[in-house]
Structure 1
């Protein structure tokens, strides 16, 4: 298994990582309607989803491999007078008891490893998620240009490459999947939304390097 490598948030110059994703707005309302309260932001980055869910009344725990990201979240939470529990840790070894959470977001996180690490991290998610609890997870598609055009020397295994076009992610592993991989890896979960591949375009209409799957799954 490759060693996990944190994003270098000190080199980030984009404010987009401070704004909650559109999906989080839907999830916060959907999960509230189901009585979910205990929320884990897995790979919280600078803390945008942690802050948003805490403001919505959730009991929030946040983990990330980046000290910089966790410290940024702590300072942000203090300014907002929000109580958020934070840990610096790897996603394949979470510091929580079994069945600790009702719902989890793993946004642009769990694919930063190889196949072995991905499977181990997914088992950890299943362990800390309650039965019938829900996970929102973003995954990279093998149809991404970054995967299809990658130098063979950058391949770690059949699913994973090292990308180096972004300073924040230089030499961070990226794992790519397809529909068959989803069926194989998510045997502990039921899929509760359509498996739709999201294609990203720039403002000029050109396809960007990465395609994604956005999945909502429920633990069996």
Structure 2
């Protein structure tokens, strides 16, 4: 089963559909965007961030390559009588015209793709953003326990083989995952005029291991 098929299956299960938006993303969006800005959630999954955008007076769009993800997002919107435009598509082929969006969100999505897809996605995000538009990305960095504890395929790519069923990486078994250091963030997103990189660390089990992400803010 490839990564797309695995996510299609996972998005059909409620336990892989988080209910609430990331608190960091909520704070960022409300601070940096205004009512009726057009914002794309790239890799919208079960729809939590599309819902947040729609209920806070943004013009919301969602793209995901899992049909089950799009279905779950639409059901969530329908439940709350909200509207957004949803499409099935990959991160490296965004089905919108140049300079359409004031904002693009890509939250915990890119690292499930190959280097080549990620590089194309960076170009696509740049293309669909308006001048001075902002992208908010969350990517895993090389201090994350998945990177430290699994087989390296290349400098940044890892094959996930987690033995502990209690760790969240267990459900990612069999996936290839791409990790970033700051140099790789700057390389991949080098077209953007401003790149800001901040760290988000969450430890578990008495600090014995940690999820580590970069919060990447890009301005076109």
Q: How does 1:126-165 map to 2 (within 5 A)?
A: 126-152=126-152, 155=153, 157-165=154-162
Report the 3-state secondary structure (helix = DSSP H, G, I; strand = E; otherwise coil) of the residue aligned with 2:26. helix
Instruction: Give structure 2 stretches of 5+ with no counterpart.
Output: 163-168
* Paired position in structure 2 for 1:173: 176
Cα deviation, residue 151, structure 1: 2.2
* Paired position in structure 1 for 2:208: 206
Q: How does 1:47-196 map to 2 (within 5 A)?
A: 47-152=47-152, 155=153, 157-165=154-162, 166=169, 168-191=171-194, 193=196, 195-196=197-198
Report the 3-state secondary structure (helix = DSSP H, G, I; strand = E; otherwise coil) of the residue aligned with 1:189. coil
**d(CA) in 2 for partners of 1:62, 1:143:** 30
Cα deviation, residue 198, structure 1: 2.2
- Superposed CA deviations along residues 158-213 of structure 1, whole A, max 9, x for unmatched, are 211232444653433311111111222221114464x33322212533322x3110
Instruction: Give structure 1 stretches of 5+ with no counterpart.
Output: none
Go from structure 1 to structure 2 and tell me whether the alpha carbon gap of 1:13 and 1:167 turns closer, same or farther (over 3 Å shift).
farther
Contact 1:113 1:160 (8 Å CA) reproduced: no
CA-based RMSD = 2.1
**d(CA) in 2 for partners of 1:77, 1:11:** 17
**d(CA) in 2 for partners of 1:184, 1:216:** 14
Contact 2:41 2:50 (8 Å CA) reproduced: yes
Report the 3-state secondary structure (helix = DSSP H, G, I; strand = E; otherwise coil) of the residue aligned with 1:99. coil
Cα deviation, residue 113, structure 1: 1.2
Contact 2:186 2:195 (8 Å CA) reproduced: no
